[in-house]
Structure 1
Amino acid sequence: MSSQKTVFVSGATGFIALHIVNDLLNAGYRVIGSARSQEKCGKLLEKFGNNPSLSMEVVKDISDLNAFDEVFKKHAKDITIVLHTASPFRFDTTEYEKDLIIPAVNGTKSIFNAIKKYGAQTVERVVVTSSGAAQIQPAYCNRDGLIVDESTWNDCAWANCTTDAVTAYCASKTFAERVAWDFLRENKGQVKFKLSTVMPVNVFGPQMFPEPSKTTLNTSSEIINKLVHTNKDTEWDQFNGGYIDVRDVSRAHLCAFEKEECAGERLSLFGGMFATQDILDIINDDFPQLKGKIPVGRPGTGKELTTKGFQINNERTKILLGFEFIGLRQSVDDSVRQILEVESKA
């Protein structure tokens, strides 16, 4: 695709989105991003050195079904690619519908409707940032022998998905992704764009712009951050699941619209399984300055957890994308190294 094309990135201040914006600019694209306030827009522009190829628009509330209308009305003639990354990812709420499900669903409806109204004949490709959560219910994760692939869907229903924040978040990503595919099917012939979705699991890796003032990181990165700051005698949560590095997630978003073979595909971003113990082993091995300060656990026993429960087969995605994913050790090492560097400068 021409490097002169303009890409709209919703939720441009997010952990993944910042890497995407950076990669787009480096690839020569013009980028229009959105954020919830003028202040956030201004800060992002400053972080990218007020790059003339980057501009920002305020979208206050993605729960509003007309949230993206003004952006597309204003830029309809320019935007040919849409990357919809904006969606809530938080577990610190009990207002599951209000804070998780409705914003995810309405945000997707609003951006697709805006494309239909103002960019039906100009937008060529759309990529939705979905999640591995849209592939499986949390309740099924401990099922030995269960294989999840690109065709697998979380079979949650609205009526029973508001029992806890994790289940509600997984449901929000599922419902939002279904909205995207349903829209395309129902509006065949009325819009010209081709759709792809990207489904990352737990996303590790360095922040695009680390901030010394932030003591907690985004939800996935906080898994590593907490271990770095856990006292050696403190009890810690044993957790396991799939991982992918944020730099690979960003790269996959570009492939999703640049590669014709990715059109119409659900791309499963999964680099492998991990357990909290695996992360502790890596940190203790590679950061001697932390050894004796953080927990040791039971070194080498991560496989006892990662070989149990569901597994992911994403061979189709790997072939479509055509690049090797960053390994767990590099992802953890780069994350921890950045955390320590930022703290040393604080």
Structure 2
Amino acid sequence: MVDKVFITGASGFIAQHIVKLFISNGYYVIGTVRSADKGEKLKANLKSNNFKYEIVPDITAEGAFNEALKSNPNIKYLLHTASPFTYDTTDPEHDLIIPAIKGTENILNSVYEFQPSIEKVVITSSDAAIYSADDEQNSSLSFNEQSWNDISYRDSLKNAVSAYYGAKSFAEKLSWKFLEEKKPNFKLISVNPVYVFGPQAFLNEVKPTLNVSNELIHNLIKIGPNDSFDNDKGGFIDVRDVAKAHLYAIEKEELIGKRVFMTNGHFSVQMMLDIINEKFPQLKSKIPTGTPGSGPTDIKTLATVDNTQTRNLLKFEFISLDKIVTDTIQQVYDAKAKL
């Protein structure tokens, strides 16, 4: 009998990779989407009889997931990936914090009430639950899988960035508290990625504007040679590795009760630009050069991170920044060639 996996937010950037990977590994996936259009497009891309979708238009609505779970018996695993990630908002509490908290609360309550057969729940959290935005930029600090962002609700309302960091922290803490207080049948694992980059799961998902993280890479080939750019910096990980971590979370017993901190080091946008200029010589003189080679200096201001525990549990090699940037840009050109 094929194991059933329920995945919320199935049409998201990370989630599409997860759905695709699980189906290729023999699982039957039930994914929630906000509309029939999103569900039909994902179904067409997957081309698999082992996928169906359920429409959940608003994850914050009371009992949002009840019907979707009640109508799909004998689910074995559940992955909760549905949570907004955007800094383009004038109402961060409504657009980021409330959906993260209520969405998590709703899915856990629905599992507890209607799907006692579920053995493992995997929460797609974030490094934002490990440290604050300010602490991440403080080179005197160090963080690992046991670290927590203890931002207050009041402080999280300051702006979109603090709201996102607060939202991920509040939602993950709620999950572990639920486990402690309700003592459900399922085991819990969280996956905490840093900035997630990499190609789209499907070529037709390449849009003029990509998701928030990938647009840092994509933007570099959309601006002119004399244009300035924000030299953002932080942790990086490939979306394909994040998807693999979710698979391992349900297949490896050693990951039960763990926070899986997904990072493969630090990046700066300048480092990404250096890679593009090296790997795509046809772009020479068409895009900026910035300050080549300054990347290692750029990232010295970032906090130290240690995910040794995660690497020892997963036992696979993470994809390099070089390959992430190259694959992402190459896919953009492949998509253009298809038009």
Greater shift, 307-316 or 270-279, is seen at 307-316
CA shift, 1:219, in A, is 0.7
Q: Distance in 2 between matches of 1:39 and 1:78?
A: 27
In structure 2, how many angstroms separate the alpha carbons of the residues matched to 1:197 and 1:142? 23
* Alignment of structure 1 residues 40-55 onto 2, 5 Å: 40-49=38-47, 51-55=48-52
Q: Indicate which of 35, 40, 50 corresponds to 1:37.
A: 35
1:17-71: CA deviation from partner (whole Å, max 9, x where unpaired): 000011101100010001001111111111112x111110000101113110101
Q: Which residue in the other structure is 1:247 paired with?
A: 240
Q: How far has the Cα of 1:132 moved from its partner?
A: 0.7
Task: Tell me the CA shift for residue 228 of structure 1.
Answer: 1.6
Verify: 1:73 aligned to 2:70, yes or no.
Answer: yes
Aligned mate of 1:181, from 155, 170, 176: 176
Deviates more, 1:211-220 or 1:89-98: 211-220
Counterpart pick for 2:83 among 73, 77, 87:
87
Q: Secondary structure at the match of 1:295?
A: coil
CA contact (8 A) 2:206 2:332 kept: no
Paired residue type of 2:239? V
Q: What aligned pairs does 1:136-285 form with structure 2 within 5 A after superposition?
A: 136-188=131-183, 191-211=184-204, 214-285=207-278
- Determine the structure 2 residue equivalent to 1:119: 115
Distance in 2 (CA, whole Å) between partners of 1:163 and 1:212 is 33
Q: Who is 2:305 aligned against?
A: 312
Please, which runs of 5 or more residues in structure 1 have no aligned partner?
none
Superposition deviation, residue 141 in structure 1: 2.3
Shift of 1:164: 1.0
Q: Secondary structure at the match of 2:83?
A: coil
Q: CA separation in 1, counterparts of 2:205 and 2:97?
A: 31
Larger fraction in helix = 2
Contact 1:274 1:306 in 2 (8 A): yes
Distance 2:38 2:119 in 1: 28
The Cα offsets for residues 206-264 of structure 1, whole Å up to 9 and x where unpaired, read as 00113377210111111101012111111111111000000000000000111000000
| 1:93-132 alignment, distance < 5 Å | 93-120=89-116, 122-132=117-127
- Structure 1-normalised TM-score? 0.96
Secondary structure at the aligned position of 2:196 is classed as strand
- Distance in 2, matches of 1:65 and 1:180, equals 17
Work out whether 1:25 is the aligned partner of 2:5. no
**Aligned with 2:225: secondary structure?**
coil
Moved more, 243-252 or 289-298: 289-298
- With normalisation by structure 2, the TM-score equals 0.98
SS at match of 1:4: coil
The CA distance in 2 between the partners of 1:41 and 1:192, in whole Å, is: 30
Provide the identity percentage: 44
Structure 2 unaligned segments of length 5 or more: list them: none
2:55 aligns with 58
Structure 1 position 145, deviation (Å): 2.3
* Greater alpha carbon shift after TM alignment, 307-316 vs 13-22: 307-316
Partners in 1 of 2:71 and 2:175 — Cα distance? 23
Q: Which amino acid aligns with 2:59?
A: I
**1:30–1:54 CA contact under 8 A, matched in 2:** yes
The one-letter code of the counterpart of 2:82 is A
- Cα distance in 2 for partners of 1:336, 1:84 equals 29
1:309 CA displacement: 2.4
Match of 2:4 in 1: 6
TM-superposed CA distance for 1:305, in Å, is 1.5
**Count of aligned residue pairs for this structure pair:** 339
Deviation at 1:345, TM superposition (A): 2.6
Q: Structure 1 residues 245, 158: closer, same or farther in 2, change over 3 A?
A: same
Please tell me whether the aligned partners of residues 200 and 206 of structure 2 are also in contact (alpha carbons under 8 angstroms): no
